[in-house]
Structure 1
Amino acid sequence: MFFSKKQDPIQIDGYQSYGTKNHLYLIGRALEHEGVDLKKKGVLAAFKNAYKQFATDELPHTKLKVTLPDGAIFYTTTDAEGYFKIDEQVHGLDKMTNSEGWLQLTVSFDDVQKDVVLMGENKFAVEMLIPSENASYGVISDIDDTILHTGVASLLKWRVIVNTLFKDVGRRTSLEGAPSLYQKLHRGTSGADANPMFYVSNSPWNLYNYLESFVRNQNFPKGPILLRDFRGPFEKTPKPEKPHKQHEIRNILNTYPDLKFVLIGDSGEHDVDIYLEVAKEYPEQILAVYLRSVKHKKKVMRVKSVLAQYETTPAVLVEKSSFAEEHARSIGLIA
């Protein structure tokens, strides 16, 4: 039974995840709706939305019900921060996907008191990607300064703060030519490959809806967006041994051991170290590594030095999307 003394409507955010034809893996979060409206424009609206995305009231220890398209039902309970997870072996999931490999399910509160206000119906969407066995390869991409102008290389990351707090999602811009490049990689050489796309970022889950809206608005191919839990200044839980992005990339590679991948990042942070370490660990799965050049002379020089000593798989520093497109075409990734 779910109890709530507050009047804010309650909702379930289902995050796009990934699995296999025999493995159901879903994640999301149950929380109160704080009035976030990403369609509103202007500096004030952007700031209010940014604040509300972090000032969340989670619904801990709440029982949820997940329903598959064939009517099968699974139950789960949210943790102390409102997150839920379904991790089950289920056969034949691929028979319920659409042409792009998406399995569309619903998640609902198992029991809600009559005086609790729901954000819409007690039926919230959640999706899981099952890559087609005919996919030629997959793409794992960073978000910040790889597809989205962010400014992670700026002094004290001031551009990140300004862009996150004061720019509504409709004003955020993609890097020139990136949507077209990603669509070509998604379609592959045949033009209809439906190669799976995965987006990895160090941003917290609080920004999931913001980033999902950006990917959709800018016409990037749809794909799971893999973020991390927000760590407060007094967080007592131990930090992960490996960086978040490295952990997520390994999970994807291990989930699809027979699928090859293209890694795309930038030269501003630690992508070169993470990606090349992964490529050395999984040499048979990594087809190419593309690192977008950022406007930071010292960081670019360092990346060039690292790449000069690397010979495991093709790894290219690119200034424009067209450069990556030319290279991808030269090695048979796109038509």
Structure 2
Amino acid sequence: MFKKDPLQIIAFLTYGTSSHLYLRGRALEDENINLEAKGTFRLLVNAWKRFETDELKNAELKVKIGADKHFYTKTDNDGYFLLDEKVEGLSNYANDEGWVKIEASYCEEKLKRNIQSDNRFPGEMLIPSPSASFGVVSDIDDTILHTGLVSTLKWRALINTIFTSAGKRLPLEGAPEFYHMLHQGKSGDDANPIFYVSHSPWNLYRYLEFFLKKNNFPKGPIILRNFPTPFNRKSKDEKPQKQKEILNILKTYPKLKFILIGDSGEHDPDIYIEIAEAYPSQVLAIYLRSVKHKKKMERVRGLFESYKTTPVLLVESSEQAIAHAKENGFIRMS
């Protein structure tokens, strides 16, 4: 009989307020994926493990904050859980940057198998600091991480994700430095929150988290989407999941203004325009990385030709974006 893998709980970096606990994650077996693995075979095995997951369905979990706050939740059929509750005084547990440490664990008495590891799994939720002057919502693919999403049939994005380890992926030149400047803001001590929102599935969470940390991007909530299936059909009027997530961030912090950063290759221009039109007082600026695709760039330039609601910059380089951010008072001049 095959030995079962040890269990784990992946608590995604997420966000909330001083009175709103919002935690997402997934309970599944630990396949021990080496994010810095080398060699075609090992990378293929990792890709298989990432998407062929052994999740814990209907598992009861306990979430602990500090020594005195305890909450309970249950996973769905895919092992995902969502803890969404009104709780007062959460900012009392936050550090200077606004991060609240949490601890998730399995309710062992209701689990039908033995846990082969320490039943304590860390997580964090961000409550933006009162010193924040604005927030940043950033795409990942082809915005800070070159993926090749504009390549024919997306083949380059597939090859990059499967055959390149997270440790070998490189950020777009100057992106980590620019994001730290935005995080520090005009004063240098603003602690502006950075939200990473991607169309990638949650299966890539650890991969992207590792990439962001290794390349010294500011820590921030990482918001992905459930892996689509042939049976998940959207209605014509339904908004993309990425757009819904960004709107939820703006609604969570109605008094905070935001800079939206994406790329010109896919749907970011259309999504960002629609959001800026709906929330003109909350969107400070839109930055869109230019892509090497003539027709797509022509379409985006035409889209913004007469657009006046929000300042928009089609970014050719991080230096250009930094100069624009300085001119508009988003970051320090020196």
Q: Counterpart amino acid of 2:85? A: E
- Aligned partner of 2:32 in structure 1 is 35
Which of 11, 20, 23 is the equivalent residue of 1:26? Answer: 23
Report the alpha carbon displacement of residue 237 of structure 1 after superposing the two structures with TM: 6.2
Q: Considering only aligned residues, what root-mean-square deviation do their CA atoms show, in Å?
A: 1.5
Provide the C-alpha distance between the structure 1 equivalents of 2:301 and 2:234, rounded to a whole number of angstroms.
34
Equivalent position of 2:194 in the other structure: 197
Structure 2 gap ranges (5+): none
- 1:273 matched to 2:273? The reply is no
Q: Structure 2 CA distance, aligned partners of 1:207 and 1:126? A: 17
**Offset, 1:242:** 0.5
Residue 132 of structure 1 pairs with residue 134 of structure 2: no
Q: Give the structure 1 partner of residue 213 of structure 2.
A: 216
Equivalents in 2 of 1:22, 1:115: separation in Å? 35
Residue in structure 1 matched with residue 114 of structure 2 by the alignment: 116
Match of 1:263 in 2: 260
1:48 aligns with 2:31: no
Residue 157 (structure 2) pairs with residue 160 (structure 1) = yes
State how far apart, in whole Å, the 2-side matches of 1:252 and 1:6 are. Answer: 42
Shift in alpha-carbon separation, 1:190–1:38, aligned structure 2, 3 A: same
Tell me how far apart the structure 2 counterparts of residues 221 and 35 of structure 1 sit (CA, whole Å).
Answer: 26
Secondary structure (helix, strand or coil) at the match of 2:108 reads: coil
Show structure 1 runs of 5+ residues with no match: none
Q: SS at 1:288's partner residue?
A: strand
For residues 244-284 of structure 1, what are the alpha-carbon distances to aligned partners after superposition, in whole Å with 9 as ceiling and x for unaligned?
11111100000000000000000000110000110011000
Distance apart, 1:238 and its partner CA: 4.7
Match in the other structure for 2:284: 287
What is the CA–CA distance in structure 2 between the aligned matches of 1:274 and 1:114, rounded to whole Å? 44
Q: Is 2:36–2:168's contact at 8 Å kept on the other side of the alignment?
A: no
Runs of 4+ in structure 1 deviating by more than 6 angstroms, as ranges, are none
TM-score (norm 1): 0.95
Is 1:94 equivalent to 2:60 in the alignment? Answer: no
Cα offset, 1:34, TM superposition: 1.8
What secondary structure is seen at the aligned counterpart in 2 of 1:140?
strand
Say whether residues 1:321 and 2:312 are aligned partners: no
What are the Cα deviations for residues 176-212 of structure 1, in whole angstroms up to 9, with x where unaligned? Answer: 1000000000000111111000001111000000000
Question: Within 1, Cα distance between the matches of 2:225 and 2:299?
Answer: 27
Aligned to 1:7: 4
Partner of residue 58 from structure 1, selected from 48, 52, 55: 55
Distance 1:22 1:114 in 2: 34
Equivalent position of 1:179 in the other structure: 176
Q: Secondary structure at the match of 1:208?
A: helix
SS of the equivalent of 1:169 reads coil
CA distance in 2, matches of 1:237, 1:71: 43
CA shift digits 1:105-149 (9 cap, x unpaired): 10000115696243x310001110000122000000000000001
SS at match of 1:171: coil
Deviation per residue, 1:81-120 (Å, 9 max, x gap): 11111111111111111111100010000115696243x3
Q: Which whole-Å CA distance do the structure 2 matches of 1:115 and 1:147 have between them? A: 41
Provide the residue aligned with 1:225 in structure 2. Answer: 222
Whether contact under 8 Å (1:293, 1:318) holds in the other structure is yes
Tell me, in whole angstroms, the C-alpha distance in 2 between the residues paired with 1:115 and 1:318: 52
**Counterpart residue number, 1:78:** 75
**1:209-244 superposed Cα distances (whole Å, 9 cap, x missing partner):** 0000001011110101100000123x2565681011
Residue 305 of structure 1 is matched in structure 2 by 302
Cα pair 1:30 1:82 within 8 Å, conserved: yes
TM-score (norm: length of structure 2): 0.95
C-alpha separation between the residues in 1 aligned to 2:121 and 2:225?
Answer: 22
Aligned pair 1:150/2:167, yes or no? Answer: no
Distance 2:318 2:208 in 1: 20
Q: Is the 8 A contact 1:197 1:223 kept in 2?
A: yes
In percent, how many aligned pairs have the same letter? 56
Q: Decide whether the 8 Å contact of 1:45 with 1:168 is kept in 2.
A: no
